[in-house]
Amino acid sequence: MSNQDLSSLDISPKGSESSSPTSTKFYQQDIVQRVVSPNSIGIVLRCWHDAEDVPPPSPISDPMMRPLNPGEVGVSFLNDGGEREILLETQLRLVDRTLQPGDFCKRSIDDLRSGVVTNVHVKGHIEHVISGESIGWRTLEELEDRVDAEIGDYVVYDDWIGQVIEVRRSVEVRTKGLSGSKLYDEATVEVASGHLIHLPELSSRLSVGEKGSDILPPAAGGVHNFFGFLMGPPPTGGADTVVAIKHTVYAVAWLAVNQSLGTTEAERKKRPQRFWYGEDVGDLTIIRGRSDLEMRVGDRVHMRDTKGLPVTRHGQEGDGVHMIDVQTFMVTETRTTLHILWQDGTQETISSTAVIPYLNPDEYDCWPGDHVVWKTEDVNQPAIVQHVKAADRTATILLAESGLVELVSVLELDPHGTSDMASIMPESASEELGVRRGDFVFIHREGTTNGFKKPCVPRIGELEAWVREGPFLEGRLSGWRKEMSDIGSRLAAHHGEEHYESKFRRPSKGDGPMWLGEVTNLNLDGTVEVTHPDWTVRVYPLDRLTKLYDGIEQLEDDLWGDEASDTQESYADNEGQIWAMNEEGTWQPNVNGNEWEEYDNNGDDDDDMEGDDSMDTDHLGWAEEPLNDGSSDSQLVLSGLLPIKEHQPSADVDVHTTPPQLSESDFINKGKDNDIQSKEFPYKRFDILSSAPLDHAFFTSLPAQPSKSFLGRLTREYRVLATSLPDTIFVRAYEDRTDLLRCLILGPENTPYEDAPFMIDWMLDSNFPNAPPIAHFHSWTNGNGRVNPNLYEEGKVCLSILGTWAGDRNETWSAARSSLLQAFISIQGLVLVKEPWFCEPAYDKLRGTEEGIVNSRLYNEKAYVLSRGFVKRALEVPLGGLEAEVRWIYHQNHRLQKVVRDARELIRKSTTNSIIPGEEHDRAVPRLTAGGIITLERTLGRLQTLLNSTTLRENSLI
């Protein structure tokens, strides 16, 4: 079938896994109101379905942070005293939806087409922040620019761009009858008695107009004690009110220097100072993007024209105490209009409530103007997306080098350019494909480039080490925060003597940093529209841009980048019970002691070690008889840092010999059906070969000298593998490298991985069995994404028993209760499953929901198509030590014929829409999209060639 024929297919997932899938109504930052109280406006802060919503593991006093049940959201209300509450979605009504340029959205959860927000227009209902008097609906053009910078704002000084990391906000303490009051901070609070009190505040906890009995710090903080010294006990009853806030000190992290400068000139630009206050603030130019300017519910704003607008006065007149007039307003409700570019290239301006946020985009999703790489086995070509037919999973792309236009499968497009290594080593994510709307970018001077080949774009931004310092030491403020607080206190003590209220500079037309800007559009010819800080709009080629790595984003990456720590357990369980593994590979309490310890350095095993004096740390002492049976697949390294090597097939090697203490009968797979499909399997599932193959992922690692206890435990592990491996797992060990294994796992039936080979190499370090085995998965996806959420392209296997994922105590590796067999079977049973999308822990909660059903089926198609390529790779470039077994499984036993036949039948059903009733829900992959068919056809062509060559050989022998 031609690409042109496939372009007309619309093979989207139909139906649902359950009769009544759960539907999501609200998302974070949605503006809602109570159904029973329309005047009660709130902001959704937590959603049960949000992948990042992970409540603290330990009990806490804040009821807002308890685990959410399906259909619940956590809301913070603007009125009702700022109440925060967990409510059912049915108790709320949607008022507005907060989206920003660059955000993705859909019409509905089951709509496969998505869009990207290109522009936003917001109208806000404005009320006086204290009196609540309404001044009606206003637009952005009627608001005055913010005077101060807040955390996250960019600032520029002397060709450096930095980011505000922290703000010191000083408050003045004034009360009736006191003259010469002291300035501690610049947030002024009117207490219930009418006096004005001023508090020191680091960061931005308070806002003008906030009311409540908890505005003032607790007595333990020492502030109330100071109040008591001045004016007696603090007032009780009534509500305190914040009436004024000023910023005094800013902590700025300087991220990068102007990239249009020459090397010599850039080196002369010294990194600016860390703290900014007083008149120095006027030397900083504040840089804001489009999303920074829009109104949000809860924002405090000032109007350009204040004539006739409400004002409130605060303080007690007389005794020389000045009054404070407040003409600050709050956005209490919004109405947002979005301009959306849909994947098919159409554009639309609609209300934000007509769409939903697209929070978990498919890894192959792309939009018009995106820079991608078209990846096939033959060539990788940079391209620009013209439009996408989401239901078909096809895209029309413009090849950047030739100018040709092609219709391709999105499964062959890489829209990101960052590999799995980025999740392990963030520095490897320093370059990505193209740019996105909303990115801040540096512009290299004309005639120069960023140094990377299109469509790669580097990302720079060094977050200085001091920013990551902890705030407290021995319960006291410490480090740079302490220094910043001291500066604020000094300024407060000299209030009136220093002019410290300088305002930030703002870029003016023709007088802004033109070496910096925000990406506001992606053109179909591959050029990029950039809006500069002075709002000048220019178009640049991609290779003149470098992305700015946001400092706040770096801190967030730090929080999410920690890998699960290695887990080591004692030989005993929580009750002190010793467990041991029996001959069948299962665990049971051991009343006679820990059988794993019977091979320690202090003694020999009377049964298995009888008569063997040669089995010490220098000599393994294998017998002449071969050790036969079973086999199992393996996993990737704990660190995930080993590169994927190009493997060359090694010559067939002789089988290894068994240890003298074990008879060959000990390793016969008694009672097992050796049939893989129809013929008797002529090889052992577990075998010991004479030498490790050169293409083993850990071949170049230096083996540790094996101890007697290590060899004793390994002997017992071998026995279990020889007798207990399932029919579809094959394991090979090596005489010359007792620390290495290799396993082959065949994908289970009725999963996207059915009949596909999964090769995993293993290493047992010197800490085994106290530490889990280390695994490396051979990913053969050609860089087109993971075949499974737990199997990384770089080889990492993410599994709690391997210590590469934080699991429950009973799920992690235990020297007393875990085994190699358990690790192998865990991969087959817990990773290669029918619905692998839900293997991602954050997505498991979406099982049974509309979003989960749609995303799981799209993922299954990807997993199925990619794993067909594993069959081709295993046959074309077989890995050493299992070549003969792979040939037998796929050729002599005709599994390759089955793979091709099943794939052809799936294509036929998909193109003719002849799905049998019930098959839609029962089969892991009931149908394919047009894009899936394009990619699968490409692989089937190679598989058919392999199948034909086998048929010719067989016919020639007849």
Catalytic residue positions, numbered:
798
- Residues 6+ away with beta carbon under 8 Å from 5: none
User: Distance (Å, rounded) from C-alpha 879 to C-alpha 760?
Assistant: 10
Q: Which residue has the tokens 């839609």?
A: 920
Q: Are 757 and 676 in contact (CB under 8 A)?
A: no
Side-chain-side CA neighbours of residue 247 (13 Å): 24
Long-range interactions of 84-90: CB distance < 8 A, separation 24+: 84/45, 86/46, 87/34, 89/25, 89/26, 90/35
DSSP state letter for 748 = P
What single-letter amino acid sits at 117? V
Angle, vertex CA 57, rays to CA 54 and CA 61, nearest 5: 100
Greatest distance between any 2 Cα atoms in the chain: 115
Q: Is 557 exposed, middle or buried (0-12, 13-18, 19+ CB in 10 A)?
A: middle
- Rounded to whole angstroms, the Cα distance separating 213 from 226 reads 18
Strands 104-106 and 114-128: antiparallel
Structure tokens, 822:
């358990």
Q: Is the peptide bond before 703 cis (omega within 30 degrees of 0)?
A: no
> Quick check: 866 and 783 in contact, CB under 8 A?
no
Contact criterion met (CB below 8 Å) for 843 and 822: no
Neighbours of 873 (CB within 10 A): 22
Task: Please classify residue 715 by burial: count the beta carbons closer than 10 Å to its beta carbon, then call 0-12 exposed, 13-18 middle and 19+ buried.
Answer: buried
Q: Which residues contact 447 (CB under 8 A, 6 or more apart)?
A: none
- Dihedral angle sign, alpha carbons of residues 109, 113, 118, 121: negative
- How would you write 180-231 as a 3-class SS string? CCCEEEEEEEECCCCCEEEECEECCCCCCCCEECCCCCCHHHCHHHHHHHHH
* Cβ neighbours of residue 588 closer than 8 Å, sequence gap 6 or more: 579, 580, 582
Angle at 532 between CA 528 and CA 536, to 5 degrees: 95
Q: Which residues, 6+ apart, have CB-to-CB distance to 442 below 8 Å?
A: 256, 258, 259, 260, 460, 515, 516, 545, 546, 547, 548
**Residue of 839, 3, 811 lying closest to 406 (CA atoms):** 3
Helix (H) or strand (E) holding 457: strand 456-460
Strand residue runs (E) in 494-584: 516-522, 528-531, 537-540, 545-548, 579-581
Q: How far apart are CA 518 and CA 529, in angstroms?
A: 8
Distance CA 305, CA 480 (A): 40
Could you tell me how many residues make up the chain?
958
Amino acid at 66: R
At 712, which amino acid appears?
A: G
Rounded-to-integer distance, Cα 455 and Cα 405, Å? 17
HEC profile of 310-325: CCEEECCCCCCCCCEE
- Count the alpha carbons within 13 Å of 500 in the hemisphere toward its beta carbon: 26
